[in-house]
Amino acid sequence: MTQTKAPREQSAQQRAADVREGAEQWMLAYRLMLRIRFFEEQVNDLYRTARMPGLAHLYSGEEAVAVGVCQALRPDDYITSTHRGHGHCLAKGASIDRMFAELLGKEPGYCRGKGGSMHIADQETGNLGANAIVGGSAGIATGAAFSSKMLGTGQVAVCFFGDGALGQGVLYEVMNMASLWKLPILYVCENNLYNEYTHNAETTAGSMLARAQAFNIEAEEIDGQDVRLVYATAQRLVERARRGDGPGFLLANTYRFHGHHVGDIQRTYYRSKEEEEYWKAERDPITILGNWLLEEHVADAAQLERIRSEAQEEVTAGVEFGLNAPFPEISEVTEHVYA
């Protein structure tokens, strides 16, 4: 199923030029992916030490999808996200501090503690919200694309969802409309092989890509562990959508390194340790980009190490901020029911 494809065929000189030109962007991608990884490891630690209320669905292993796609977006472009949404929020520019505050139910959190892990929204970065209903944001993202077209703002909407959302009918209703009306939207299906604790081979018949193609939506399947490829493909589909040439569908093959949520520890009954080890050892998007940066002499090991420790420090500072932040006033419970 996973097909690896170079962004484009290039001559040696062209490639060298591209590497130089892209160096800054790929170094940033490396930093952003590490930021997400360390953020998620910290969340897991908060859970294991019983310092976080509820559960969280970790994005570790899937970082290249969020980072590659969001690098192809303008700051004012919209995204909608899922229950596994921390990576999307961070990639679109959310602050680590306020994310941790939200996960801990604190007042400075993005939603004043009302949303928690599964509902982070951040208008300033175009994030219309994570969603705890599988497929729940398909309509919202399509509506945002509709606004953009009506208002002529040139914004594109990206709808992130998991392979499990292919089971939801609303997705097909809105993809049909998006194609009919050439809405500026990119549907990004993060195929991590599982719907919770069930392999998608047991839940999903036929071709995933053909679902979009049936609506005449420009669809591409890619290796979601290669951030450069994710970026290049998303860039093409986003710009196409922005021009008014209609929606795109990006099927990114990826893998979650942890359980479905932080409490999903015993999982050998639905996926093997070997499979997990393979993806972690061979298909880690951060390692893949790191190796490329070294091979192409964009960075040396010391530089990468520095980025790593800086990202770790940001996360450590962020969690401290969240832990020390106050809870909201109890009176807030009845605020914001109506606008």
Partner 1 sequence: MSTPSVVSSQSSQAGTGQMREVTLGQAIRETLAEELRRDPTVFIMGEDVAEAGTPFKVLSGLVEEFGPQRIIDSPISEAGISGLGVGAAMTGMRPIIDIMFGDFIGLAMDQIVNQAAKVHYMSGGKLRVPLVIRTTLGATRRTAAQHSQSLHAWVSHIPGLKVALPSTPYDAKGLLKTAIRDDNPVIFFEDKMMYQLKGQVPDDDYTIPFGVADVKRAGTDITLVATSSMVQIALAAAEQLAELDISAEVVDPRTTTPLDKETLIASAQKTSRAIVIDEGYERYGVTAELAAVIADGAFYYLDAPVKRLGAMDVPVPFSPVLEDQTVPTAEAVTQLAKTLCGRV
Ligand X SMILES: Cc1ncc(C[n+]2csc(CCOP(=O)(O)OP(=O)(O)O)c2C)c(N)n1
State the residues that interact with Mg ion by CB under 5 A. 162-164, 192, 194
Least distance CB 134 / ligand X (angstroms): 4
Q: Nearest-CA neighbor of 172 among 145, 138, 149? A: 138
Burial class (CB in 10 A: 0-12, 13-18, 19+), 50: exposed
- Cα separation of 291 and 325, whole Å? 38
**Count of residues that bind ligand X according to CB under 6 A:** 15
| Secondary element (H or E) of residue 253 | strand 248-253
Which of the listed partners (partner 1, Mg ion, ligand X, none) does 32 bind, with a CB threshold of 5 to 8 Å by partner kind? Answer: none
Taking the least distance from each CB to ligand X, the nearer of 165 and 229 is 165
CB of 77 to Mg ion, least distance (A): 24
Instruction: Give residues in contact with partner 1 (CB under 8 A).
Output: 53-55, 105-106, 111-119, 131-136, 164-169, 195-198, 202-204, 269-270, 327-328, 330, 332-334, 337
The C-alpha atoms of residue 319 and residue 100 are separated, in whole angstroms, by 6
Dihedral (CA of 16, 20, 25, 26) sign: positive
Distance CA 144, CA 147 (A): 5
Task: Indicate which single residue of 35, 37, 84, 86 sits in contact with ligand X (rule: CB under 6 A).
Answer: 84
The option from partner 1, ligand X, Mg ion, none interacting with 111 (CB < 5 to 8 A, set by class) reads partner 1
Restricted to residues 131-150, the positions that interact with ligand X (CB under 6 A) are 132-134
Nearer to ligand X, 35 or 260 (CB): 260
The smaller minimum CB distance to partner 1, of residues 134 and 144, is found at 134
Q: How far is CA 72 from the centre of its chain?
A: 13
SS3 string of 265-287? CCCCCCCCHHHHHHHHHHCCHHH
**Measured at CB, which residue is nearest to Mg ion?**
162
Q: Which of the listed partners (ligand X, Mg ion, partner 1, none) does 308 bind, with a CB threshold of 5 to 8 Å by partner kind? A: none
Q: How close are the terminal C-alpha atoms of the chain, in Å?
A: 46
Residue 162 as a binder of ligand X (CB under 6 A): the answer is yes
Determine contact, residues 93/210, Cβ cutoff 8 Å.
Answer: no
Query: Which of 24-32, 180-188, 191-199, 317-325 is the region at the interface with ligand X (rule: CB under 6 A)?
Result: 191-199
Residue closer to ligand X, measured from CB, 84 or 211: 84
- Identified binder of ligand X from the candidate list 63, 102, 163, 276, rule CB under 6 A: 163
| Longest Cα separation, the chain | 64
Give me the residues that bind ligand X (CB under 6 A), please. 57, 83-84, 132-134, 162-165, 192, 194-196, 260
